[in-house]
Chain A
């Protein structure tokens, strides 16, 4: 059972198997010593620290296998899965790509990935609004990742909570689609602050919109001056070469 990460673990499923049945995990507790006062129980546990401990384990494991892991975060429907399908179709022959899909319900996204031939594991978070490092650790163990491969973790569509949960990834990549409005980076700054790269998706739609790309990028840099930006379209393939170059540079740094 996971008290960890506040993930609504009672309903969490990894490839359809109930999370708390999938393993015999008992949370580590440190019960402070000292004189037990009458009817008082001392606990001393930082509920937020447990995720970081799991994330550290994941990072160690991924780094040891020289796996370059990315945590893809965005609001629902920005095109995360579409971008992954396109990425695998275009670059899957260059390096192995495995995917962990996070959604509250259904395994539709994992099925979309498996249809490309890539390995995918679906995590269903039930009530949970984000992936946490503990769930991802189990998914990583099931994936049998190849050395020097790329692991894409598609987080639950949510522009708020996933920002606070380290999964052990090398980078968070935030996807913002041009139909969402230019101002999202300043309305949800935590997410854009946590990300190393922003993929501005659905750029094929720009001719039909009043979207101000420069304003969106300026807002993103207002909250995170160092954030890199690539304009892409999962539909037309625009920007995919730049995205590949960014991944290749990251892989090189990881190996």
Chain B
């Protein structure tokens, strides 16, 4: 639906968390996506690649796990350098 702005939200979260957790590169993002979240997985992956270009998460792997019955989109964990 609004995958581009959600991808921007993920990047923002990564950058904010970097300030408290002290990392400078993110190599993978683990995300759970609810079946009723009205978010298209393919589109989210595509948008994530686009918005992270030139950022600390450039080239990071986005691993999306489906969450049946949920309407959440939950960022679980980052793999960082």
Q: Which residues of A contact B (CB under 8 A)?
A: 1-10, 26-27, 29, 31, 39-49, 127-130, 160-161, 164, 190
Contact = CB atoms under 8 A, between A and B. Distances in A.
Say what secondary structure dominates the interface of chain B. mixed
Interface of B: 1-2, 4-6, 8-10, 12-13, 16-17, 20-21, 23, 37-38, 71-81
A41 B5 contact: no
A5 B13 CA distance: 12
Given A7-B5, A47-B10, A27 B16 contact: yes
A127 B4 contact: yes
A45 B16 contact: no
A70 to B, nearest CB: 22
B80 A42 contact: no
Q: 5 tightest CB-CB pairs across the interface, nearest first?
A: A6-B5, A3-B12, A6-B9, A6-B6, A41-B78
Nearest to B27: A39
Contacts of A164: 1-2, 38
B75 A39 contact: no
A8 B8 contact: yes
- Chain A contact surface mostly: loop
Nearest to B25: A39
Given A5-B9, A9-B12, A43-B77, 18 more contacts: A1-B12, A1-B16, A2-B12, A3-B9, A7-B5, A8-B5, A10-B8, A27-B16, A29-B13, A31-B17, A41-B23, A41-B77, A43-B13, A46-B74, A47-B9, A47-B73, A127-B5, A130-B2
B1 A160 contact: yes
A90 B6 CA distance: 40
Nearest to B74: A46
Contact of A40 (B5, B8, B71, B78): B78
Given A31-B20, A45-B13, A129 B79 contact: no
Nearest to A130: B2
Contacts of B9: 3-6, 47
A39 B80 contact: yes
Give the most central of B1, B8, B9, B77: most A CB within 10 Å: B9
B5 A129 contact: yes
